[in-house]
Copies of this chain bind each other. A is one copy, B any other.
Amino acid sequence: MPSDLLSPAHIAHALHQFRTRSPLVHCMTNDVVQTFTANVLLALGASPAMVIDPEEAAEFAAIADALLINVGTLTADRAVAMQAAIGSAINAGKPWTLDPVAVGALSLRTRFCQQNLERQPAAIRGNASEIMALAGVSRGGRGVDTTDTAAAAIPATQKLAQQSGAIVAVTGDVDYVTDGERTLAVAGGSPLMTRVVGTGCALSAVVAAFCALPGDRLINVAAACGVMKQAGEIAARNGNGPGAFEPAFLDALYTLNGEVQS
């Protein structure tokens, strides 16, 4: 199963659809990345909202266009609310996306992610160690960081897609996105993205939002990765460190027209 390179035209088309629809995205994410996640979605033209009470989360998941579940600062209480939201999203026919942050070595999140793999996630986005742990191939990385390359995780990514029925994206220097049959490669980005907290988590929110678009979900998820890679490249040109990178990244997302940037 070799991978094909995602075309800039696909990214441009998906981004145009995204801006036209401005999806309402219900983000249940970790404490560390809430602000950046919201700002990334706002810069791209989406409408983010974070609703976390179990009763309200179930209500809102049915109203929103897409749901993100990120387990970075999971607690038992939050797991209950997330379960309620996932159930409500499924009933309402809304796509939900899983970000299995640091899954593997930590108990609560590993149980939670494994249980919810059966609940028809539309997409899963993680780094190599997370995807390999979730596919049952390894025990996870070093904290929230990966100890493997994305390329090394391609077989685990394809296996996880086949098991779960989700589009699975493993991200790194190059991102690979698969439905278990076809695999797309997305190049670009900047090493500075690993020195700004939340770029991966925010990508998962963008993936969740792009799952609300019509058309080929494999291509839409890959386009979400491509949009973030393009913005990362533009921002790295302007900035000289992670501090200047972050505002430049948001401005790049805001002005990106989906055409070839490099």
Contacts and interface: CB of A to CB of B under 8 A. Distances in A.
Contact of A72 (B26, B50, B77, B142): B50
A148 interface: no
Contact of A60 (B49, B55, B106, B198): B106
Contact of A242 (B32, B60, B72, B254): B254
A32 B25 CA distance: 14
Contacts of A196: 39, 42
B51 A106 contact: yes
A76 interface: yes
A213 to B, nearest CB: 18
A93 interface: no
A145 interface: yes
A243 interface: yes
Nearest to A72: B50
Q: How many of these chains are in the complex? A: 3
Contacts of A240: 251, 255
A50 B63 contact: no
A35 to B, nearest CB: 6
Interface string A125-157: 000000000000000001111000000000000
A91 interface: no
Contact of A38 (B197, B239, B246, B247): B197
A244 interface: yes
Contacts of A248: 243-244
Interface centre among A32, A109, A252, A255 (most CB of B within 10 A): A32
